[in-house]
Structure 1
Amino acid sequence: MNRSVLKVLDDFYRKNFVEGEIVPSEDGNYKILNSHYKNKFGTFILCEKMLEQKDLKPGSSWNIVKGILVNSGNPYEIIGTIHIPGYTNTSGFFVRNHIEDEIVGLSYSETWEVIYKYGARNAEASRSLFPPLETTIINTNKELPPFTSAYWKTPVFNKDGGFYAQLSNLVLREVENAIVGLDAKERVGTFEPAVVQITDPSIASVEVKEVEHPYENLEVYYSAEVTPKISIPIMDDVLKDLKKIAQFIATSEKIVVLTGSGISSGSGIQDYKKVEESLWKKDPFTMADLNNKVFANEPESFWNSFYIFMKHLLHNFTPIHSHESLATTIKAISTNDDHLFFVWLEKQLNKEVTIVTQNVDGLHQKAGSKKVVEYHGNIFECICPSCNSSYKLVNVFTANGLPRCRCGAILRPNVVFFGDEVHYQKQSIEEVKQADLIIVMGTTLKTFPFNELVYHKNEDANLILINEFHVEIEVDFDVVALGDITDICHKLWEEINQIDSSFYKKI
């Protein structure tokens, strides 16, 4: 079934068309119904999105839970999507707080929380549930173009080179990641500290500082250039908590670390779950193809959809989306200090560290961690469903035919897609049970059943949260350290070294 949607001229590759014509856009083909459609918000192009006549199998099973509905009396209003020049991703939203009469730049997750709980004048937030999956979506009202439209695109920098509005810490981190490699590194040093105040969630002030790389003895594992970075200042109360964490780490024997996308953001990797959510909204038929049933019955459709998914996952790194360029990009992705911190614990403190990660990028292993449980698989690997042989994606990813195993079977990406069971659930539970220290880092703990792993810890084990924000879960953490994860790792490195130099050895 086709659906009506509002667009603007900049949403289309072609600028000259007539009503009734089907015109291509970045997110599909549209039939032009009215090129001068007017409502109280302005003049738009009324279109009909041309959907493929496929059966969207999971559609009817989604349970949608809406937050506060659109109302002119709601306190917040989205005035634009945050656009970083040279960066194809939307980095969040500029949101007006009508109560405080101020504009602030928030990440997608922060915007969703605010709108879901308090409501907006031109948008609504919802949760879509299809156990074990959950997506979060922000939609405009029907009288405005969707947030993917160029209508909303607002440059993060104003004409004077400063920020269009104050930015939250998460958006600042995104800006930092985006400008690395865009010949704009010198601008980082000009960022002014910004204090962002909003009813909920609370957001700390930010500052700019130079990072002194601490893992000098692990250069063999570190290839990325150290650059100035934007970070959340570590407050006195957090420093006290870090001393406790450092003591726990120094005295522990078996450490289990539960990690999420916050660990890989410093390497420029997009949140895998957010890419999935975005594609479910923009191109649901592509996502509907990424399951075992389609793989078994229509492998060509499966791999074509997987190629589209990979373009979206990696477009931060390369504007060229050939199979060859994507393969080259995969090889070039670097680890960051968050990964290296746990390698340092293994190599220099001789700790037994097990990483249980939701990330599918393989960067923990690339950094040098010995024991990594990939809960959702590894998107850069392929497996043979017949003989269980494994291959690197870069070695089989080709535009010429389907990737095949030596035994002749068609290969499948080694990653958890819609309807798949998670990998190594029993092993992950056992690792948590045996640990005397569990560190949760860089994850919202919203994804089931990963978020239930913490409930399997033994009574004597210490549980620590290191994150940029709180997590909503009914469990008591022994210590919570909130802030920039990389800065916290650097500070922990200093604190652990101060406890007793005998805890680590030189390589």
Structure 2
Amino acid sequence: MVQKKKLVVLTGAGISAESGIATFRDADGLWEGHDVMEVASPQGWRKNPELVLDFYNQRRKNAMEAKPNQGHFILAELEQDFDVRIITQNVDNLHERAGSTNVLHLHGKLFESRSTLDPSLIYEMKSWELNLGDKCARGSQLRPNIVWFGEPVPMMEKAVEEAIRADIFLVVGTSLVVYPAASLLDFISEESALLVVDPKLPAIRKRPNLHLFEEKASTGMKKVAELLLSKYK
């Protein structure tokens, strides 16, 4: 049996935006009317945990109403022909709902809560609501299981390992300005193909097997799939 080529995909807010999930970088750092540091930082949590909890409750409600788009579904379908590993900067579960089976969430998961006392105590959330007074097994307040600004990115090491082993590296819907995620491109082999899909293409240095698609995720991914199946399968 022929081994499938390893296709590693870095996805960002652009792919979820097409499903109706708001991105804060489109509004001068304001996220749904909030300064991002008020709702996505340890300082914001200490200052006003109720505001932070409410903010993420609204994000969860929004994400539950959103549906995967064509970009998500094409990535899931590519598993038939490639060993697909998705590294996403998004905290929603749209990749999983579209059928992708190998998804690494760099910035945490919207539908998980975790203990403020013991970060290893993580709970799956069945509903959209997390409130003050909701506690972990050790009696401490639960917080969103999100990597906030200023916090370490625990899954980054695993993401780097995936990037190093990629035969093909695909970037979808990200401006490549958020670190450390953007640094994953530094770990791709020069022999690997690099494909980038975004309506506002980030600056990418020229290299062999570079393919740029100046389009949104849903339409760009159709062209990517055609190229992958014809040239790189």
TM above 0.5: yes
Q: CA offset at residue 266 of structure 1?
A: 1.9
Is the 1:261–1:272 contact (alpha carbons within 8 Å) kept by the matching residues of 2? no
Aligned to 1:410: 141
User: Is residue 486 of structure 1 aligned with residue 215 of structure 2?
Assistant: no
Aligned to 1:304: 51
- Indicate which of 322, 340, 344 corresponds to 2:77: 344
Is the 1:276–1:287 contact (alpha carbons within 8 Å) kept by the matching residues of 2? no
Q: CA offset at residue 421 of structure 1?
A: 1.5
Aligned to 1:391: 123
Give the SS at the match of 1:303: helix
Q: CA offset at residue 495 of structure 1?
A: 5.9
| Bigger Rg, structure 1 or 2 | 1
- Indicate which of 415, 420, 440 corresponds to 2:151: 420
Give the SS at the match of 2:18: helix
2: CA distance, partners of 1:397 / 1:255: 35
- Indicate which of 68, 80, 100 corresponds to 1:369: 100
Q: CA offset at residue 396 of structure 1?
A: 7.1
Is the 1:303–1:402 contact (alpha carbons within 8 Å) kept by the matching residues of 2? no
Q: Structure 1, residues 241-281: CA drift from partner, whole Å, max 9, x if none?
A: xxxxxxxxxx961110111111112211111544781149x
User: Is residue 380 of structure 1 aligned with residue 106 of structure 2?
Assistant: no
- Indicate which of 334, 337, 353 corresponds to 2:67: 334
Aligned to 1:265: 17
Structure 1 gaps of 5+ residues are 1-250, 315-325
1:175-324 matches, cutoff 5 A: 253-274=5-26, 277-279=29-31, 283-284=34-35, 287-288=37-38, 290-292=40-42, 295=45, 301-308=48-55, 310-311=57-58, 314=59
Is the 2:53–2:130 contact (alpha carbons within 8 Å) kept by the matching residues of 1? no
1: CA distance, partners of 2:12 / 2:225: 21
1: CA distance, partners of 2:188 / 2:139: 43
Give the SS at the match of 1:373: strand
Root mean square deviation of aligned Cα: 3.0
Aligned to 1:359: 90
1: CA distance, partners of 2:138 / 2:86: 32
1: CA distance, partners of 2:224 / 2:83: 17
Is the 1:272–1:359 contact (alpha carbons within 8 Å) kept by the matching residues of 2? no
Give the SS at the match of 2:171: strand
2: CA distance, partners of 1:404 / 1:451: 35
1:125-136 matches, cutoff 5 A: none
- Greater RCO (Cα-Cα under 8 Å, separation 6 or more): 2
1:48-59 matches, cutoff 5 A: none
Give the SS at the match of 1:479: strand
2: CA distance, partners of 1:470 / 1:383: 36
Q: CA offset at residue 293 of structure 1?
A: 5.2
1:431-446 matches, cutoff 5 A: 431-446=162-177
Shift in CA distance, 361/273, structure 1 to aligned 2, threshold 3 Å: farther
Q: CA offset at residue 379 of structure 1?
A: 2.2
2: CA distance, partners of 1:302 / 1:445: 30
2: CA distance, partners of 1:294 / 1:491: 42
2: CA distance, partners of 1:290 / 1:491: 35
Q: Structure 1, residues 100-158: CA drift from partner, whole Å, max 9, x if none?
A: xxxxxxxxxxxxxxxxxxxxxxxxxxxxxxxxxxxxxxxxxxxxxxxxxxxxxxxxxxx
Is the 2:24–2:31 contact (alpha carbons within 8 Å) kept by the matching residues of 1? no
Which amino acid in the other structure matches residue 430 of structure 1? E
For normalisation by structure 2, the TM-score amounts to 0.82
Is the 1:261–1:443 contact (alpha carbons within 8 Å) kept by the matching residues of 2? yes
Shift in CA distance, 437/407, structure 1 to aligned 2, threshold 3 Å: same
Q: CA offset at residue 433 of structure 1?
A: 0.4
Which amino acid in the other structure matches residue 343 of structure 1? A
Shift in CA distance, 389/496, structure 1 to aligned 2, threshold 3 Å: same
Shift in CA distance, 480/411, structure 1 to aligned 2, threshold 3 Å: same
Which amino acid in the other structure matches residue 344 of structure 1? E
Which amino acid in the other structure matches residue 41 of structure 2? N
